[in-house]
Amino acid sequence: MNNQNVDEHSLLFISQLYPTVYTPLVPQQAGKSKPARPRRRRKSKTVAAAEVDGDGSNGWFRKRKLSDEQVRMLEMSFEDEHKLESERKDRLASELGLDPRQVAVWFQNRRARWKNKRLEDEYTKLKHTHENVVVEKCRLDSEVLHLKEQLYDAEREIQRLAQRVEGTLSNSPISSSVSVEANHTTPLFGDYEVGNDVGDGYENLFYSPDYADGLEWMSQFM
């Protein structure tokens, strides 16, 4: 019987003594030099091991879940500190009846799960933010559309009124010197002054302070 077999039997013995707390370890391939990096992959070492067993499992070690209590203690320790210094590892291992290697592996896996969870949370948060931005963009797009419609209507109204004024002036026999007085000829223009010179177009048509306010209002949305 070589050393490896002795170790295997010891492990089996311990695992039978403490079935709930001890997860049998795989015997390391002591003395074997590291192979020149054959990428992938071992046979499951946790399964392979000793013989002699009465439970029908042919005495093979099986990968065993850690007990609830062990996991609880490990979780508590992980809460304290995600990194695992060697002293703490050894202390935890002896307290929980585990191999230090198991404690180290548990922490490695726990860190990986923690990282995944964090990434998942960040992704969810970003997704929500993105959704909100998309909704806001839709709202703004619709508002822009609405304002464009308003602008279009206003322009058409201006055009219509301008045409009406033009018509009124061209029909007047004294069009060149007419001064449209307040709400006398047309209620549409109220106090608006029409320029003295037909040739200067209608740039002086809307001097109403109200209209100026309207432009100001519209300019907020342009």
Partner DNA sequence: TTGTGTTTTACGACCTCC
Partner DNA sequence: GGAGGTCGTAAAACACAA
Q: DSSP letter string over 120-186?
A: HHHHHHHHHHHHHHHHHHHHHHHHHHHHHHHHHHHHHHHHHHHHHHHHHHHH-TTGGG----TTTS-
Are 164 and 155 contacting, i.e. CB atoms less than 8 angstroms apart?
no
Q: Which is nearer to DNA, 71 or 198 (CB)?
A: 71
Would you count residue 76 as binding DNA (CB under 7 A)? no
Q: Which is nearer to DNA, 36 or 222 (CB)?
A: 36
Length of the chain (residues):
222
For residue 41, cis peptide bond before it (omega within 30 degrees of 0):
yes
Q: Applying CB under 7 A, which of residues 63, 117, 137, 139 lies at the interface with DNA?
A: 63
Which helix (H) or strand (E) is 9 found in, with range?
Answer: helix 3-17
Would you count residue 118 as binding DNA (CB under 7 A)? no
Would you count residue 32 as binding DNA (CB under 7 A)? no
Q: Which is nearer to DNA, 76 or 105 (CB)?
A: 105
Would you count residue 42 as binding DNA (CB under 7 A)? yes
Residues sharing a CB contact under 8 Å with residue 166, sequence separation 6 or more, in sequence order: 202
Cβ 83 to DNA shortest distance, Å: 4
Total of residues contacting DNA (CB under 7 A) = 39
Cβ 141 to DNA shortest distance, Å: 37
Q: Applying CB under 7 A, which of residues 9, 14, 21, 64 lies at the interface with DNA?
A: 64
Would you count residue 26 as binding DNA (CB under 7 A)? yes
Cβ 90 to DNA shortest distance, Å: 9
Choices 8-16, 30-38, 130-138, 183-191 (CB under 7 A): range interacting with DNA:
30-38
Give the C-alpha distances (Å, rounded to integers) separating 107 from 27, 86, 104.
21, 12, 5
Would you count residue 46 as binding DNA (CB under 7 A)? yes
Q: Applying CB under 7 A, which of residues 2, 33, 86, 177 lies at the interface with DNA?
A: 86
Are 207 and 215 contacting, i.e. CB atoms less than 8 angstroms apart?
no
Are 59 and 52 contacting, i.e. CB atoms less than 8 angstroms apart?
yes
* Chain residues in the site for DNA (CB under 7 A): 23, 25-26, 34-35, 37-47, 62-66, 71, 83-86, 89, 101-102, 104-109, 111-113, 115
